Amino acid sequence: MANDTNVVIMTGRPTRQAELQTSKNGRSFCKFALAVNLYNGVETSAHYFNWIAWGKTAEYFTSFINKGDLVIVEGEARQNIWTDKEGVTHYEVEFFASNVKLMRRKAVVDSLQPAVNEKSPVLASSAANGNGHDQSHSEASLPLDEKQPESNYVLDDGYNDDEVPF
C-alpha cells in the first residue's frame, strides 16, 4: 500500500465561539467553522470549513480561542457518504483538528505585534524533525495549565480586521 498523506493546514478565523461538549462515551469535543479568506488576484472571498476537535485540542480551543481570532489549524480530512430516504447519495467532508495555534486576537492592534519570521516557533516546530510534525511542541499535547493563551507572533495575512465579514 502506498504511503498516502492526509494533512490539512488552514489559517482562518472561527465564525462563532466554540462550546466544549461531551460525547456519549465521555470524550470531550467541540465543533467550529473556520472562515478562510481566499484571494484570486482580483478580489477576496471568504470560504467556510467545518472542523471537529477532540480531547485536549478541543479543551484548548474552547479555553483560549474566540470568535474572530486568527488561528492556524492542522488536521486531516475525512469523507462521509450516506444515502437518504429518497435514495439520494450525499457526500460530506469533515476536518478533524489535531493541533491549533492562536496567531492573533481579533482585538490586537497589528502594529504592536512582531511579524512571523523564520525564527517563529510556529515555523520552527514544523521543521524540527523534517516531516512537519513535532509532537513535543504541540499545544494540544500539553496540560491546560502549561499552555500559552496567546502567541507573541502573528501571521501577516495582508487583511485588515475591519475588512473581515464577521
Mean pLDDT in consecutive groups of 10 residues from the start of the chain, 166 residues: 87 95 95 93 93 95 94 95 96 94 74 43 35 39 41 46 56
Nearest alpha-carbon partner for 150 in 117, 93, 108: 108
| Predicted pLDDT of residue 3 | 79
Name, in order, each residue with C-beta under 8 angstroms of 54's C-beta and a sequence gap of 6 or more. Answer: 27, 28, 29, 96
Q: Can you give the pLDDT at residue 2?
A: 73
2 domain residue, yes or no: no
Q: Count of domains in the chain? A: 1
Is position 87 within any domain?
A: yes
**Could you tell me the three cell numbers for 97?**
483538528
Residue 103 maps to which CATH number? 2.40.50.140
Whether 133 is in a domain gets the answer yes
User: In this structure, are residues 58 and 81 in contact, taking their beta carbons and an 8 Å threshold?
Assistant: no
- In this predicted structure, what is the pLDDT of residue 106? 81
Residue 3 lies in a domain: no
Per-residue pLDDT of 59-77, as tens digits, reads 999 999 999 999 999 999 9
Spatial contact of 8 and 75, defined as CB atoms under 8 Å apart: yes
- Main-chain phi, psi angles of 163, to 5 degrees: -90, -10
Averaged pLDDT of the chain: 75
**Residue 135 within a domain:** yes
Buried b (16+ CB within 10 A) or exposed e, 81-109: eeeeeeeeeeeeeebbbbbbbbbbbeeee
Range of the domain at 109: 8-161
Within a domain: residue 1? Answer: no
166 assigned to some structural domain: no
Which ranges constitute the DSSP H helices of the chain?
55-64, 121-127
Q: Can you say how many angstroms the Cα of residue 127 is from the centroid of all Cα atoms in its chain? A: 19
